[in-house]
A and B are shown apart, each in its own frame.
Chain A
């Protein structure tokens, strides 16, 4: 590990100290009580400051040899460790994790490391190391680790300070060299003061600035001091996010199934009240029917799942009539599938359409021709991800504007009304009904890729294996090739897919296909089963992609390996 040295000042020469040496240097004291060590260090900082004030005038002349300097600082760190007192090691950690409150600890550790670090100020060049530190922090437990961490956490704040006013460094070192010999009374005093401050983490942050400021800027005027202080105080309050993550809970991530089971066990609060509320809503059913028939469409809003309510509506009122239920929350629902179910199941039309507008035109024509046709469309979550698009809303709106199509839909998202402009609104011809049910969104959220639920991907996995099992060995090989390639590229964000030509080449090499055509036939089969997706790139080349997340794919390959 080579370290680019030199601080660019003639006054001071810097020499590299390899990490190992630093480690060794510190490792000697692994048995020491770290906490005490720190407080003492802070004490020494304070004394630093005092001394600094004295010497600030003639600091420039004092030039120390590098070796002396290092040695002195080393002494400085050793010294406080000598007079250790008992504080539990665990508390060190509470210092460091929250960024703001750990200033004191940082300051201490900064000083502790100065022997190694100030001489080797390259740490600023690997900020990732320092950034990672807090995470390591939380996990490590043994004393050795702690020591290590202190090394790595060296905050650059001090380093900055060290690099900026060089002359101070010398004085510092000069002072610290002497500090070990200086009266111990003073030290104790400081340490007692500080120990009082230690326990609540937040007070420490407040206590630190003065020494630092004096250290750096004592010779400047007071005004500058205040300004500095101001920015110091405000810069540190940037973003405050708690570090208490779910990972720290040491709680396994629940998967969908267990979550569902658990929630089933949990009693529903206010069951009676909610039931009564729902009964109130149910009284509206006949009114809804009337209004639907009068050319209005109905949209339900309000907190709570409206799925059950609509289901109830369906079972109690619509049993006799043709109706279509659209589960908008279902992640793979598409406009086309809605239209298809109308044309195929309701109108009994076999055949495909070029585009949704064509299909819509056909539906409109059919419904206009045959006035006896009536269709109730129930859409759960009209505002879901899949139906949110401008085009799908436009087409649904046009559909709903047909006099013999009765639409009743529910919306949940707070911004759902923004979906519709005046034109769409007038097509929809909504009547709004507030149906706050307070019932949990069981179905709706079970598909949502919630951030707190472990994504098992079991659904996709089982379907993958199912389909693949019914295929020939060669076909499986082909798919496996693609899967492996995709996994290899999983870290590449710009990975568009495997181009057809490359894929063909690979398949040929593996003796899986003998011609372009056979591969194409195979791919068509995959596509029909929705195993792969093809995309045309900017250059017109066809790219193949498996639309499954990587972990599922990896699982799948593992399973396949087991089978073979």
Chain B
């Protein structure tokens, strides 16, 4: 019996569902129509397992077949005893039938499937199945393996060793185990960021804070790619809902057209943008007046600016990737290992002013040649494949660096001899004094010595990369009209995705002014208990009623609950009481 294991890392429940669903879809389309997805909570016993299994298999049989005899099957489904034999009968019945009866639909699918397609059973969460159920199922089905080709897929969240600890040897020996490892959720996230955010073709971009919030939710809350996508969706919705100029957030061609047909109000909206104001202020006064008063001129400029922005994005992303090639090689990753970290850093402010950038440049100046060459090659690839048009020079320059490195290699042979000789000198037998002396001399000579050609070239390369960064990685919020593309209100995101109902309650109840007000109205009532018992009779009915309401509201909110021990006593439930 074949058995595969899919290993999922960690506790990320939400995405696993999706993984398994897409897996079964792929299998269904390519290999076999007979797939059952089983979950531990549905299968407390072997009987439930069989029922569930057969239910799913028979249903799929209905789906594949014509819908005419649906009724018949449904009736029989209830009647059929859930046993292995009935399953085998069903399987024989199904696999024999396909050619004759149903027309086109069936044929196309059968042509894709094998002659006798295997039945695939997916156990989504192997760890939570009871061992007995699994054992029984495996032992029973292994006896029918000849009539019923069965493939089991186990989803494992921990280590693959679990299969041996869960199943005794005589059971696991019945399985032919093969291990597959699913990608970790971080990899999925990287893919999504790579394909969605780091593409110039998508005009919508996330601001630094927003991206940070989304990544933080992912890393510190759920590891759920689905939730990340949900957050991204929310960003899009919010952006187009709340930002009036987002009408221009589309492909460049469309954006130009739209910019042409902007109404006066929309023009005014553009004029209100802070980045646009900055732009206006930097212009000469006549232009300023024109920008602020003449709509057509504004539209013209807007189109130009949009184009600028588009070009900026194209260049930006290529240079970012290029920089990432360098930084991801450095020890300790001062600018982060993942491109998303680098992206965040670059979005935040001028990256070349940060300490991390400084230190990474220093580290880059110490790279060895082979690393440097491979990096340069990668950068060339990135620039060549990028859509930016300004990079022809850059590519040439980088290629020139590469050839220079090659030349150096040839020269290096000669230099090697020199270094070897100096090494040999050291190895000669000397006394301590002489050794010290020679070492000092060596040091002296090294310090004063002009940089080797390689070192000079390395400096040049690093400086060139630095200039690229300074040129192209200008933070987006320095760009005019960036508001059109970038969604920046992180607070909205945090509010709606990562809400804190307790804090809301707390702040609502925590307003001292309200309390003071409330007490001042209760004062009359509060005198009652202090005075004699007789006067407490005079507690105002309304105050009494308000008190009762307050208590029952607190109860509803879960702050207090009645203690059963004493008459009308309550226990505090929250915030450090009990």
- Indicate if the CB atoms of B555 and A301 lie closer than 8 Å: no
Contact in complex: B568, A441 (CB < 8 Å): no
- The stretch that binds A, out of B318-326, B396-404, B541-549, is B541-549
Closest to A304 in B: B508
Counting CB contacts under 8 A, is B474 at the interface? no
Cβ contact within 8 Å between B544 and A251: yes
Q: Which segment of B230-238, B282-290, B377-385, B475-483 sits at the interface? A: B230-238
- Give the dominant DSSP class at A's interface: loop
Contacts of B517 in A (CB 8 A): 269
Instruction: Kindly state the separation between the CA atoms of A304 and B509 in the bound complex, as whole angstroms.
Output: 10
Q: Could you say which residues of chain B place their CB within 8 Å of the CB of A241?
A: 566, 569
Cβ-based interface call for B553 (8 A): yes
Q: Are B556 and A445 in contact (CB under 8 A)?
A: yes
Q: A266-B545, A302-B505 are in contact. Are A414 and B234 (CB under 8 A)?
A: no
Report B1 CB to chain A, min CB distance, Å.
30
Q: A196-216 interface mask toward B, CB cutoff 8 Å, 1 = contact, 0 = none?
A: 000000000000000000000
Contacts of B230 in A (CB 8 A): 296, 429
Smallest distance from the beta carbon of B224 to chain A beta carbons, Å? 7
Q: How far is the CB of B361 from chain A (nearest CB, A)?
A: 42
* CB-CB contacts below 8 Å: B492-525 with A: 495-499, 501-502, 504-505, 508-509, 517-518, 521
The residues in A between 236 and 253 inclusive whose CB is less than 8 angstroms from any CB of B are 241, 244-251
B13–A423 CB distance below 8 A? yes
Shortest CB–CB separation between residue A441 and chain B, in angstroms? 5
* Residues of A413-459 contacting chain B, CB below 8 A: 413-417, 421-423, 425-426, 429, 431-434, 436, 438, 440-441, 444-445, 448, 450-453
Decide if B227 is an interface residue (CB 8 Å cutoff): yes
Number of interface residues of B (CB under 8 A): 57
- Residues in A with CB closer than 8 Å to B234 are 296, 431
Q: How far is the CA of A451 from the CA of B517 in the complex (A)?
A: 26
Q: A250-B533, A436-B508 are in contact. Are A441 and B501 (CB under 8 A)?
A: no
A287 interface residue (CB < 8 Å to B):
yes
CB distance from B154 to the nearest CB of A (A): 19
Within 8 A of A (CB), among B214-249: 222, 224, 226-227, 230, 233-234, 237, 241
Are B551 and A452 in contact (CB-based, < 8 A)?
Answer: yes
**B551 A422 Cβ-Cβ under 8 A:** no
CB of A201 to closest CB in B, whole Å? 14
* Total interface residues in chain A, CB < 8 Å: 56
- Asked if B557 and A302 make an inter-chain contact with CB atoms under 8 angstroms apart, the answer reads no
B10 to chain A minimum Cβ distance, whole angstroms, is 11
Which B residues lie within 8 Å of A248 (CB)?
Answer: 533, 536
Could you say which of A295, A411, A451 contacts B570, with CB atoms under 8 Å apart? A451
* Cβ B14 vs Cβ A413 within 8 A: no
Contact code string B25-58 (vs A, CB < 8 Å = 1, else 0)? 0000000000000000000000000000000000
Given known contacts A304-B508, A448-B556, is B501 in contact with A416 (CB within 8 Å)?
yes
**Shortest Cβ distance from B532 into A: residue:** A90
Docked CA distance A444–B557 (Å) = 11
Whether B529 sits at the interface, judged by CB under 8 Å, is yes
Q: Which residues of B contact A423 (CB under 8 A)?
A: 13-14, 17
| Residue of A265, A287, A304, A440 touching B542 (CB-CB under 8 A) | A265
Give complex CA distance A287, B240 in Å.
11
The reply to whether A451 and B545 contact each other, CB–CB distance below 8 Å, is no
Write out, one digit per residue, whether chain A residues 382-394 have a CB within 8 A of any chain B CB (1) or not (0).
Answer: 0000000000000
In Å, the complex CA distance between A450 and B555 comes to: 8
Q: Within the assembled complex, what's the spacing in Å between the Cα atoms of A303 and B518? A: 16
Chain A residue at smallest Cβ distance from B568: A246
- A239, chain B: closest CB distance, angstroms: 10
Checking A262, A431, A432 against B545 with a beta-carbon cut-off of 8 angstroms, the contacting residue is A262
> Is the CB of A551 closer than 8 A to any CB of chain B?
no
In the assembled complex, B559 has its CB within 8 A of some CB on chain A:
yes
CB of A471 within 8 Å of the partner chain = no
- Known A-B contacts A263-B549, A451-B568; the reply to A302 vs B497 at CB < 8 A is no
- Cβ of B574 within 8 Å of any chain A Cβ, yes or no, is yes
Chain A residues within an 8 Å CB radius of B498: 432
Q: How distant is B495 from chain A, measured CB to nearest CB, in Å?
A: 7
Q: Is the CB of B555 within 8 A of A451?
A: yes
A317 within 8 A of B: no
Is there contact, CB below 8 Å, between A245 and B568? yes
Contact between chains at B574 and A414 (CB < 8 Å): yes
The answer on a CB contact under 8 Å between A438 and B552 is no
Residues in A with CB closer than 8 Å to B416 are none
Cross-chain contact A413 with B558 (CB below 8 angstroms): yes
The reply to whether the CB of B539 lies closer than 8 angstroms to some CB of chain A is yes
Q: Is there contact, CB below 8 Å, between B556 and A412?
A: yes
Within 8 Å CB of B559, what residues of A?
A: 414
Interface string of A297-327 (1 = CB under 8 A from B): 0000111100000000000000000000000
Given A414-B502, A434-B499, A452-B568, A441 and B241 contact (CB-CB distance below 8 Å): no
Partner among A246, A251, A262, A450 whose Cβ is within 8 Å of the Cβ of B537: A251
Q: Is the CB of A290 within 8 A of B237?
A: yes
Name the distance in Å between B234's Cβ and chain A's nearest Cβ. Answer: 7
- Is A23 among interface residues, defined by CB-CB distance under 8 A? no
Report the minimum CB–CB distance from A346 to chain B (whole Å): 24
Q: Which residues of A contact B274 (CB under 8 A)?
A: none
Q: Which residues of A contact B502 (CB under 8 A)?
A: 414
In the docked arrangement, what's the CA distance between A413 and B573, Å? 12
Nearest CB of chain A from residue B490's CB, rounded to whole Å: 15
Q: Are B508 and A453 touching (Cβ within 8 A)?
A: no
Q: A144 to chain B: which residues have CB within 8 Å?
A: none
| CA A247 to CA B567, docked complex, whole Å | 9
In the complex, A259 has a CB within 8 A of chain B: yes
**Interface pair A301/B224, CB less than 8 Å apart:** no
Could you say which of A296, A431, A436, A451 contacts B562, with CB atoms under 8 Å apart? A451
Identify the 6 closest CB pairs spanning chains A and B, nearest first: A432-B499, A303-B508, A450-B552, A426-B14, A262-B545, A301-B501
Interface pairs (9), CB distance under 8 Å: A250-B533, A251-B536, A262-B542, A296-B233, A303-B505, A303-B557, A416-B501, A432-B496, A433-B495
